[in-house]
């Protein structure tokens, strides 16, 4: 993690002696070696290496070490002059002098506490292993190479006006999001979140305070999401993702977001932390939420636990979700606007089950959701409490002093509601009472993010204007390459998606045995999967993140 303090994070001086001689006091215990010191197998003798030294080519870390001596480099955004290369025992070090004094530094080698080179100001001098310095310089060179030919943010396609999710599919090559340098995990996740759905739109418009977060939000909103939703084009350039990754790296202080392949959970968790947005709230069974919500657990995704002790070859997402809640144990403290369910995995791409059926609908019944009476604080799982809970708008207005929290469903148990109706009989003549039945709350599947050998693709539902009509789409940000350097994204229709799930649910064992048979017979020279069969396999075998929306919530 990169830090921007007054002194480099990779080396801290452990002595306040301030001595600048070539000996270590007898009563001084040499400080522990910093973690960056790793033997490189260099010469044993201590000697100063100058630009003209004969042995300046005895090590190669991808950068000519002597080319650095006398040059200026940047370490954690601080300018430093490389004063020389020294061998201290088995270690090869660079002596560097910062352009500003560093608190706690005295210019002595932290290993032997000697002064190998002359610093104009000892408080600006410190040492770094040759390998670490080369790694930093080479990384900066790669970053500069990646910046060449990139469009700046103002040069990107930019749409300020808020655009709703697409209600008609935009199909073909060079549609969706163009992949760039290990970005497919992020491309597929963003496509699931925003292209044809608005359940995550709060992230685009909520108030944020820090400047890096404002820039991150603006890049996401105006150069990616709105451009993705533009019916005239529906294509996001790779440079937009490049700048999003830069801003995400800056906001999280995690440089790996810039270019490394990561897991979608890391991306979503970063948004959860940065935007303080975690609408999925769970609580231990039979516990009413505390006023400060200290006994509420919040998440943006639900990473499920299911060890599959019976070694079943297949299951469905709803079953895993229920098992996961019961193992903790936990209940939903409120009805979430969406659910992102992460399949149980041994590794990033290896799941507990060989095949998983994505339920197109999940019912949140009383065994999953915990109702809490606002008056007596008893729950629907209390054996002494009636299972029926109610909401009465008139009573709630009169009882507005009742402690409430957004981590609970507004409702009253049968006994408390009866007492309130008797107590308020003189002031309220008509009550509009409704039974709270979580059995009717349905969450609908709208996307599946799939992982296979570090490549991420997605199935996303396009909900059309007619609520009874929808179409499933397949998205791959790196479906092809042009001139061996530019990725070609693809959005394609999947007309058989619903039929696949129908077949899997009706003929579960036979269906997956058939898939196994197809996989077993596959040979490069005699038989290959059709594109349709491969996508079918990806859905059931590689599905890892399952996105559900609460259709009753207005966003």
- Per-residue pLDDT tens digits for 85-116: 888 888 888 999 998 888 878 888 888 888 88
Selection from 151-165, 486-500, 522-536 with the highest mean pLDDT: 486-500
Residue of 47 and 414 predicted with greater confidence? 414
Using an 8 Å Cβ cutoff, are 363 and 441 in contact?
Answer: yes
Mean pLDDT of 290-312: 87
Spatial contact of 366 and 438, defined as CB atoms under 8 Å apart: yes
The whole-number pLDDT of residue 526 equals: 40
- Residue 269: count of CB within 10 angstroms of its CB: 17
pLDDT digits over 506-527, tens only? 988 788 888 777 766 554 434 4
Query: In the structure, what pLDDT confidence band is assigned to residue 140 with cuts at 50, 70 and 90?
Result: confident
- Token digits of residue 196: 């044809």
Which range, 117-121, 183-187, 512-516, is most confident? 183-187
Question: Which one of 10-14, 157-161, 281-285, 489-493 scores highest in mean pLDDT?
Answer: 489-493
Quick count: other Cβ atoms within 10 Å of Cβ 382? 17
Bond into 329 cis (ω within 30) = yes
225-275 pLDDT per residue, tens: 999 999 998 999 999 999 999 999 999 999 999 889 899 999 999 999 999
- Weakest mean pLDDT among 43-47, 247-251, 387-391, 497-501: 43-47
Calpha distance 408→359 (Å, rounded): 26
pLDDT at residue 483, as a whole number? 54
Of the listed ranges 25-29, 444-448, 494-498, the least confidently predicted one is 25-29
Phi and psi, residue 440, nearest 5°: -90, -5
The reported pLDDT for the residue numbered 157 is: 87
What's the DSSP call for residue 361?
E
The yes-or-no verdict on residue 12 having pLDDT over 70 is no
Mean pLDDT for all residues in the chain: 80
All structural domains of the chain with their residue ranges: 1-148, 154-277+444-550, 389-440
Taking a C-beta distance cutoff of 8 angstroms, is the pair 491, 473 a contact?
yes
3-state secondary structure of 180: coil
Name every residue whose Cβ is closer than 8 Å to that of residue 278 and which is 6 or more positions away in sequence: 272, 298, 299, 300
How far apart (Å, rounded) are the C-alpha atoms in residues 498 and 360?
9
154-277+444-550: CATH, from 3.40.50.40, 3.10.450.50, 3.90.70.10, 2.60.130.10: 3.90.70.10
Q: What's the CA gap between 541 and 512, in Å, rounded?
A: 10
Is pLDDT of 301 > 90? yes
**What would the two tokens of residue 93 be?**
């070090």
> Is 8's pLDDT higher than 90?
no
Q: Comparing 134 with 408, which gets the higher pLDDT?
A: 134
pLDDT, residue 449, reads 98
Percent of the chain with pLDDT over 70: 78
Q: In the structure encoding, which two tokens stand for residue 39, read together?
A: 């033997």
Report the distance separating Cα 151 and Cα 149, nearest Å: 7
Q: What are phi and psi of 100, to 5 degrees?
A: -135, 150
* Residue indicated by tokens 């300020």: 160
Residue 267's pLDDT is what?
98
Among the listed ranges 209-223, 374-388, 464-478, which one has the minimum average pLDDT value?
374-388
Asked whether the beta carbons of 63 and 142 are under 8 A apart, the reply is no
Question: Residue 81: pLDDT above 70?
Answer: yes
Structure tokens that stand for 11 in this block: 């080396």
- Is pLDDT above 50 for 60? no
Task: Count how many Cα atoms sit within 13 Å of the Cα of residue 522 in the half-sphere of its side chain.
Answer: 13
* Confidence bin at 5 (pLDDT 50/70/90): very low
Read off the pLDDT of residues 403-439 as tens digits, 9 standing for 90 and up: 445 656 778 888 888 888 887 665 555 677 888 766 6
Is residue 9 predicted with pLDDT exceeding 50? Answer: no
d(CA 170, CA 199): 20
3-class SS of residue 322: helix
What band does 312 get if pLDDT is binned at 50, 70 and 90? confident
Give the pLDDT of residue 116: 87
What is the per-residue pLDDT for 546?
98
Q: Cβ of 451: how many Cβ atoms within 10 Å? A: 25
Residue 424: the pLDDT is 67
Joined tokens for residue 395: 């009573």
Residue, of 352 and 95, whose pLDDT is higher: 95
Distances (CA, A) of 185 to 74, 257, 348, 355: 31, 11, 12, 21
Position with higher pLDDT, 386 vs 143? 386
Which of 539, 440, 555, 449 minimizes the C-alpha distance to 496? Answer: 539
Two tokens at 232?
A: 């005239």
Where does the pLDDT of residue 206 fall: very low under 50, low under 70, confident under 90, or very high at 90 and above? very high
Average pLDDT over residues 45-55: 32
């Amino acid at each position: 993690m990169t830090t921007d303090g007054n002194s480099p994070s990779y080396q801290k001086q452990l002595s306040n002696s301030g001595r600048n001689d070539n000996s270590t006091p007898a009563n001084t215990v040499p400080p522990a070696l910093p973690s960056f010191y790793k033997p490189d197998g260099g010469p044993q003798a201590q000697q100063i290496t100058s630009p003209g030294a004969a042995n300046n080519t005895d090590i190669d870390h991808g950068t000519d070490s002597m080319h650095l001596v006398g040059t200026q480099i940047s370490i954690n955004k601080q300018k430093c002059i490389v004063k020389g290369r020294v061998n201290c025992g088995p270690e090869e070090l660079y002596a560097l002098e910062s352009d500003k004094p560093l608190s706690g530094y005295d210019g002595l080698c932290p290993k032997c506490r000697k002064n190998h080179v002359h610093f104009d100001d000892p408080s600006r001098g410190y040492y770094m292993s040759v390998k670490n310095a080369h790694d930093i310089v080479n990384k900066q060179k790669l970053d500069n190479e990646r910046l060449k030919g990139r469009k700046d943010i103002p040069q990107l396609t930019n749409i300020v006006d808020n655009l709703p999710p697409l209600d008609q599919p935009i199909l073909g090559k060079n549609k969706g999001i163009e992949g760039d340098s290990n970005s497919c995990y992020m491309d597929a996740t963003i496509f699931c979140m925003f292209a044809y759905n608005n359940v995550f739109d709060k992230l685009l418009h909520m108030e944020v305070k820090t400047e890096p977060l404002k820039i991150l939000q603006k890049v996401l909103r105006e150069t990616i999401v709105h451009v993705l939703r533009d019916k005239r084009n529906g294509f996001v350039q790779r440079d937009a993702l490049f700048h999003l990754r830069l801003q995400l790296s800056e906001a999280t202080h995690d440089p790996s977001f810039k270019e490394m392949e990561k897991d979608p959970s890391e991306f979503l968790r970063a948004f959860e932390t940065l935007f303080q947005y975690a609408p999925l709230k769970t609580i231990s069974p039979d516990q009413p939420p505390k006023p400060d919500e200290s006994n509420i657990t919040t998440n943006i995704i639900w990473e499920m636990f299911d060890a599959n002790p019976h070694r079943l070859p297949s299951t469905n997402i709803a079953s895993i979700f229920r098992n996961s809640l019961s193992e903790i144990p936990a209940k939903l403290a409120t009805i979430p606007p969406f659910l992102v369910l992460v399949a149980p995995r041994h590794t990033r791409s290896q799941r507990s089950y060989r095949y998983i059926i994505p339920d197109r609908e999940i019912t949140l019944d009383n065994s999953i959701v915990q109702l809490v009476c606002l008056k007596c604080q008893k729950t629907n799982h209390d054996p002494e409490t009636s299972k029926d809970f109610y909401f009465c708008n008139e009573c709630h207005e009169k009882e507005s002093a009742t402690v409430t929290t957004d981590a609970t469903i507004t409702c009253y148990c049968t006994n408390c509601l009866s007492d309130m109706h008797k107590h308020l009989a003189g002031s309220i003549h008509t009550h509009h009472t409704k039974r709270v039945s979580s059995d009717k709350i349905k969450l609908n599947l709208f996307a599946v993010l799939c992982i296979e050998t570090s490549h991420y693709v997605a199935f996303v539902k396009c909900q059309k204007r007619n609520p009874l009509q929808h179409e499933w789409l397949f998205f791959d940000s790196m479906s092809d390459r042009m001139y061996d350097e530019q990725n070609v994204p693809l959005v394609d229709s999947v007309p058989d998606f619903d039929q696949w799930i129908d077949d899997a649910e009706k003929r579960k064992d036979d269906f997956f045995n058939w898939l196994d048979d197809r996989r077993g017979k596959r040979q490069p020279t005699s038989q290959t999967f059709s594109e349709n069969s491969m996508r079918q396999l990806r859905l059931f075998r590689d599905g890892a993140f399952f996105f559900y929306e609460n259709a009753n919530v207005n966003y």
